[in-house]
């Protein structure tokens, strides 16, 4: 179970209120790469995990991400503290309040009007957090790769936020949070490679005849040079199939689809086809023609 200590993992010092910046920081509070997504991702994995060491790691890191959620949410609350009071107590003229909530050039109007300046579980555009951001599927050779990628993405968003603020206290706290994503990625990498083998992920083997094939499906027009080749599509690593005709029906069949229908199904399908047939021989007058200017 969880316990809470009133001290933050990292001290928050904000030099002045700034609802516009608060709104950008929501990206890491309630956004897809944010701390709620991180915490719930690892927490759900921990609950279903069979390996005790990995379960421990997942719960350690989930708990830290909850603590990060608290840090980033506290940054938002501090940056919005002035706006919260002014709007709630109507401490200014209406026109002044209108200007201040629409003047930040981003969606901070929403944060103020709807959430009263509190940290909201939305991204910086007001999109409500959704569990669609969580890609846990319950197989560690896939989930650990998802975690590695998630930490990489979160690191980048922090980097962009750091590039966009010059408040030293905010910058420093964001730097800490960014650094921890790097540390977590390191742990997840170790846990993944401590599973042997971990590739291909899961249990079923791939079909050998298609595992090392590269289909060159994006091409330039004939006679013109295509993109540079690299290890991802080189002959060294793959059989490259560039011929258009060889790219379809690669199983050697006719590339068509079929299903066996029983007699009643067959009759119903034929009835439906007949009823909804577009007669290829007709050239009917249409609604669009009725609605056009006479030619």
Task: Give the footprint of a copy of itself on residues 7-46 (CB under 8 A).
Answer: 7-17, 20-21, 24, 27, 30-33, 36, 40, 43-45
CB of 61 to a copy of itself, least distance (A): 8
**3 state DSSP class of 175:** helix
CB of 148 to a copy of itself, least distance (A): 6
CB of 287 to a copy of itself, least distance (A): 3
Alpha-carbon separation of residue 63 from 36, 60, 70, 109, 191 (angstroms): 11, 5, 11, 32, 18
Sign of the torsion formed by the C-alpha atoms of 140, 146, 149 and 154: negative
Q: Give, as ranges, the residues between 126 and 145 that touch a copy of itself (CB under 8 A).
A: 126-142, 145
Task: Check binding of 152 to a copy of itself (CB under 8 A).
Answer: yes
Q: Give, as ranges, the residues between 264 and 283 that touch a copy of itself (CB under 8 A).
A: 264-265, 267-273, 275-283
d(CA 66, CA 114): 24
Among 35, 38, 123, 295, binds a copy of itself (CB under 8 A): 123
Binding marks (x or -) toward a copy of itself, 80..109, rule CB under 8 A?
A: xxx-xxxxxxxxxxxx-xx--xxxxxxx-x
CB of 102 to a copy of itself, least distance (A): 4
Cα dihedral 14→20→23→28 (10° resolution) = -60
CB of 177 to a copy of itself, least distance (A): 10
User: 42 CB contacts (<8 Å, ≥6 apart)?
Assistant: 58, 59, 61, 62, 65, 147
Binding marks (x or -) toward a copy of itself, 231..270, rule CB under 8 A?
A: xxxx-xxx-----xx-xxxxx-xxxxxxxxxx-xx-xxxx
d(CA 216, CA 44): 39
Among 35, 38, 155, 295, binds a copy of itself (CB under 8 A): 155
CB of 7 to a copy of itself, least distance (A): 3
Sole residue written with tokens 């047939």: 277
Q: Give, as ranges, the residues between 174 and 203 that touch a copy of itself (CB under 8 A).
A: 175-176, 178-180, 182-183, 185-203
Q: Give, as ranges, the residues between 44 and 73 that touch a copy of itself (CB under 8 A).
A: 44-45, 47-48, 50-57, 59-64, 66-67, 69-70, 73
CB of 38 to a copy of itself, least distance (A): 13
Number of residues interacting with a copy of itself: please give it, by CB under 8 A: 233
Q: Which among 152, 169, 192, 156 is positioned nearest to 54, based on CA atoms?
A: 192
d(CA 188, CA 149): 10
d(CA 208, CA 224): 33
Helix (H) or strand (E) holding 240: strand 239-241
**3 state DSSP class of 213:** strand
Among 35, 38, 172, 295, binds a copy of itself (CB under 8 A): 172
Contact (Cβ atoms closer than 8 angstroms) between residue 212 and residue 236: no
CB of 184 to a copy of itself, least distance (A): 9
């Amino acid at each position: 179970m969880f316990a809470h200590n009133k001290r933050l993992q990292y001290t928050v010092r904000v030099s002045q209120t700034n609802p516009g910046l608060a709104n950008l920081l929501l990206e890491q509070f309630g956004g897809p790469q944010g701390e709620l997504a991180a915490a719930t991702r690892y927490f759900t994995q921990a609950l279903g995990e069979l390996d005790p060491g990995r379960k421990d790691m997942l719960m350690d890191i989930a708990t830290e991400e909850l603590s990060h959620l608290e840090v980033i949410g506290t940054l938002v609350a501090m940056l919005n503290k002035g706006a919260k009071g002014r709007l709630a107590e109507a401490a200014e003229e209406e026109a002044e309040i209108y200007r201040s909530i629409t003047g930040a050039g981003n969606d901070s109007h929403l944060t103020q009007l709807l959430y009263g300046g509190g940290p909201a579980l939305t991204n910086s555009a007001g999109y409500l957090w959704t569990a669609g951001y969580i890609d846990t599927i319950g197989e560690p050779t896939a989930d650990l790769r998802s975690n590695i990628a998630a930490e990489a993405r979160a690191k980048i968003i922090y980097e962009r936020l750091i590039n966009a603020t010059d408040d030293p206290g905010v910058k420093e706290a964001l730097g800490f949070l960014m650094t921890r994503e790097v540390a977590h990625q390191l742990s997840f990498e170790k846990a993944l490679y401590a599973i042997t083998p971990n590739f291909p992920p899961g249990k079923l083997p791939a079909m050998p005849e298609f595992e090392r094939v590269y289909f060159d499906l994006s091409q330039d027009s004939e006679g013109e040079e295509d993109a540079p080749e690299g290890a991802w599509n080189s002959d060294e690593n793959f059989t490259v199939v560039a011929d258009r005709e060889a790219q379809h029906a690669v199983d050697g069949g006719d590339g068509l689809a079929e299903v066996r229908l029983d007699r009643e199904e067959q009759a119903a399908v034929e009835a439906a086809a007949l009823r909804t047939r577009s007669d290829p021989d007709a050239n009917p007058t249409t609604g669009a023609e009725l609605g056009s200017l006479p030619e």
